[in-house]
Structures are given as C-alpha cells and as structure tokens.
Structure 1
Amino acid sequence: MRIIVTFRGKQPIDLPLAYSQTVQGFIYNSISDEALKDFMHNKGFYNNKRVFKFFSFSRLEGDYILNKQRKRITFISDVTLKITSLFSPFIEDLASTLMKKDKIILGKNEIAILSISMEEPKVKEQMIVRTISPIVLYSTLQNEYKKYTYYYHPGEKEFPKLIRDNLLRKYNTFHSGSHDLEFEIKPLEYEKNRPVITTYKNTIIKGWNGKFEIEGDKKLVNIAYNYGLGSKNSQGFGMIEEEEHFICRRPLIV
C-alpha cells in the first residue's frame, strides 16, 4: 500500500541536496500513535541481527532549482511524496494523521498539505518498473588492511542474486518462516558511471536509478513493489513504480 501526498510551501521549499533524513524525520513525526512511532523508529522487525522497518519513500517530485555550491535544492512548485509499506498499521496511521493536518514542518519549511490519497497497487508476475528512489545494494568486505563497503551496480553478475536474497529475507521476516521463492531482475536502462551519491547521517551512500524488468513469484514481486528493492529502504531508497506511471522531473537551473 502507498500514500501519495501533495503539498506546497508557504515559501519555496529549501532543503539540503541530501534530504532523505529530513523526509524520513517528517514521516516519523507524522505518526500519531506513540507506541507505533517508537516501534517504527527504534525497533522494527528483526531477522538474524538485521532490522527491517518495512517502508520506503520516493524522491520529492516537483519543479526545482539546484544550487550546487550551497548544496541546496529549492522546490518552486507543488511537491509530491510517495510512501510505501506492507505494514498496514503504519500506513493507516500515517494517512489518518496527514489528512487531519493543514500545515506541517518539513525541515525548516512550513508546508500545507494539498491532497493525500492511498493506493493498493496490484502486482503481476512480470513488470517493467522504474526507480523513484535509487536502488542501494552493498556488501561489507575485508581486505588486508581494513573493512570497506562495496556498492554493486545493476550490471554486475552478483546484483540479481543479492536482490533476490534481500527480498527473501524481507519476506521470511514479515511472514515468519523459511521460504525459497523465485525472482529475477534485469536492468533495461541505467548509467553505470553515473551513480546517485548522497549522504545520510554523514555516511556516503551510492545507488542507481534505472528501468528494470522484474519477474518471479508474486509474493516477492509484491515485496519489491510495495516495500522496496535493495537495502536502506526506510532511508528513502529502492522504491519503484510501474513504467506507465513514471514521471521524470529535471532541474530548471543547474
């Protein structure tokens, strides 16, 4: 299930280029049930020391101006944010809270909620999708000197298997079992040498946008579509949308 929120700033909405943490904070602060907020923010679902929050969100969609020197992005039109989750208590509380609020704070910006809608996308065994937030997939490796983080791009041979393994962990966590389901992902469009590099809490993160064909058991396709692909989903990564619904936004000034 996903929520589509459209809002407008009292003034142009000024945010850091790396605004994922700001949007994540906005989402957590919009949960009215304090026990649920604590669970989603501080606990989540555990599986072998891994924690899954079972939600993701898109990049902000709207006309914007980039200021690379200041490392700021300014939205000058109405803005849309999409939030997806398989955990219905979270998504229902969030939608209910946002529906009751005329104004809210995003970073240091006062914004007015213009509209909010809910969707329950129907998935198919085979779909053509695009990212609406970058896919992040990584391993922590060790060389003779130290541990380091290696980020996989969609063209690497390990990418499809690691995506499937990640989806299986999510499915087995949410459904409390040990299942072995099929899933394949094939990149149709992506730029190997143009990763999306951002920061989250001073950690550099590398991900990729693109167009993909996904195919497999509908249970895993559902996890992919209604939760997210890859890692760090609750930090605003790995949300996808069916190709026919995709809208591309470009900066007015760079």
Structure 2
Amino acid sequence: MIKFEPKEHIKYSDIDKYTIQGFIYSLLKNDESFSEYHNTFGFKFFNFSNIFPVSDFEKNSLKKLIISSPNDDLIKSMYTQLKNRSSFRLKNYKMELLKVEILRNKKCSKFISSTPIVLYENNVDNRYYSFKQNPDFNFFFKRLKDNAIKKYNAFYGTDFELDSELFTNFEFGREVSIRLVKNNNKFIVIGSLWKDLEFDLTSQNKDFYNFLFDNGLGEKNSLGFGFLNCRK
C-alpha cells in the first residue's frame, strides 16, 4: 500500500489506469530482474486498485493505492524502490510519499470486486463479454474459471485443475463501461462489478484462491482490472 498526498489540485480522471501502470513499470525498470518486464510476452502478474478515496486530488489530501502480485520478489522490488523516497510523480504531478508498506493476505472465503472484471467473449475480434448483450452467467463463470486456471498454471508451472465451480455463490452488481485513452486513441472496455463471490476454501485450493486474490480475476489485470478485496 502506498499512502501519499498530492501537491496540487488534480482532476481524478487525469490519473488513469495507464498512468498507474506506467508508474509501476518505472519502479521495476530500476531492478535488473524486472527491467524488461514491460516487454515480456504473456501474462503480467500484477494488479492494482483504484486510487482511493475516489475523488479529485486536493492539495495535501490523503490518497492510497494498493499494488498486488503473486510474485513476492516483484512486490519487494517496488517496496525497495519506494521506501527511501520522499516523493514520486504520476504523469507530471508531484506526490509526497507518506508511507509504503507490505500488506499480508487475509484469510477469507468471499471476494468483492473493487475494479471491474473484464473478459473477452471473442478475443479474435477484441469483443468484450457484456451481460447486456448476452446475460449468460454459466458462460461467464466458465470462461472466468478457464482464464484463472490458465494463469495459475502459467505462473507456477503446474497442471492444477479445479474440480468444483469457481464460486459457489455470487451477487452481481452492475455492468460498467470504462473509457481508456492510449497514444491519443480512445477505446471502451466493458466489465462487471460483483458484490459477492463466495467459494469453499480447502487445503487443496487455498493456494489457487490466494493467487486470484493477488493477481486479480479476468483479463487486463496489469491495467488494474479485476482487483479483489475480501468480503467479511
């Protein structure tokens, strides 16, 4: 978790997901183990929350950001880069760094999505799954489970299979559309927010669900989508 204070008024929308992703890569480039992480092919095993509270940046007002990853070395690398700093920049905006700390996972059997979960319905034509277009929970959770297992096995080099459903109970929140801008090109990402994603935690699957908690659910985790919190 990074706690910081802006040094000027900034609109919340001026610090977007690409800004935060770029900040993370800028921290990693100073570590030779991760200096080329941005250019590596395949999954990028990290995720991040929205900056919160979700409101405009006011001078000297407290803001927080959580960055997560199943890769402990990656988290420690960012912590090392930040712990002795007094400030950093998001875009060209200066932020005073108040505190950086490593958080430990909480044991839980319910997730809540803090940022939208994104899935491709068809990744060939770059079409995102939309409940408004195709309200099929079976399709969504099957695709979500396949995606989660694929990433878990890619990270650990295993052939893990989950015999049960990914979640035993769920409560849908709403579908959202997020506008992103990259290199002056605007595009829309469609995702969904969930109030409750419940699962049976066992000794056989605890590492898998810990991975999901650290890495996030769905596509585009390294852009801050699918970030999870525990729900009590």
In 1, Cα distance between equivalents of 2:165 and 2:198:
7
* Residues 1:173 and 2:164 are matched in the alignment: no
Match of 1:28 in 2: 25
Say which of 50, 58, 66 aligns to 1:59. Answer: 50
> How far is the alpha carbon of 1:16 from its aligned partner?
3.2
- Give the alignment's Cα RMSD to 1 decimal: 2.2
Say which of 146, 166, 190 aligns to 2:173. Answer: 190
Match of 1:129 in 2: 111
Match of 1:150 in 2: 128
CA deviation map 1:201-221 (0-9, x unaligned): 233211122212231522221
Match of 1:68 in 2: none
In 1, Cα distance between equivalents of 2:142 and 2:156:
21
Structure 2 residue matching 1:195: 3-state secondary structure: strand
Structure 1 residue runs without a partner (length 5+): 45-50, 65-73, 245-254
CA deviation map 1:131-170 (0-9, x unaligned): 222111113267xxxx351324486321111111111111
Between the aligned residues of both structures, percent identity stands at 28
In 1, Cα distance between equivalents of 2:50 and 2:196:
18
In 2, Cα distance between equivalents of 1:97 and 1:118:
13
In 2, Cα distance between equivalents of 1:93 and 1:243:
28
Structure 2 residue matching 1:104: 3-state secondary structure: strand
Match of 1:240 in 2: 228
CA deviation map 1:146-205 (0-9, x unaligned): x351324486321111111111111110111222124423431412xx414221523321
* Residues 1:138 and 2:100 are matched in the alignment: no
Aligned length: 218
With normalisation by structure 1, the TM-score equals 0.77
The one-letter amino acid paired with 2:91 is G
In 2, Cα distance between equivalents of 1:107 and 1:99:
20
8 Å contact kept, 1:196–1:209: no
Structure 2 residue matching 1:26: 3-state secondary structure: helix
Distance 1:139 1:189, change over 3 A: closer
Map 1:72-87 onto structure 2 (within 5 A): 74-76=56-58, 77-87=61-71
Say which of 25, 36, 39 aligns to 1:39. Answer: 36
Distance 1:54 1:63, change over 3 A: closer
Match of 2:215 in 1: 227
Structure 2 residue matching 1:13: 3-state secondary structure: coil
> How far is the alpha carbon of 1:85 from its aligned partner?
0.3
In 1, Cα distance between equivalents of 2:123 and 2:66:
33
With normalisation by structure 2, the TM-score equals 0.84
Structure 2 residue matching 1:237: 3-state secondary structure: coil
The one-letter amino acid paired with 1:35 is E
8 Å contact kept, 1:123–1:221: no
Moved over 6 A (4+): none
Distance 1:109 1:15, change over 3 A: farther
CA deviation map 1:114-138 (0-9, x unaligned): 11111120434xx222222211111
Distance 1:31 1:13, change over 3 A: farther
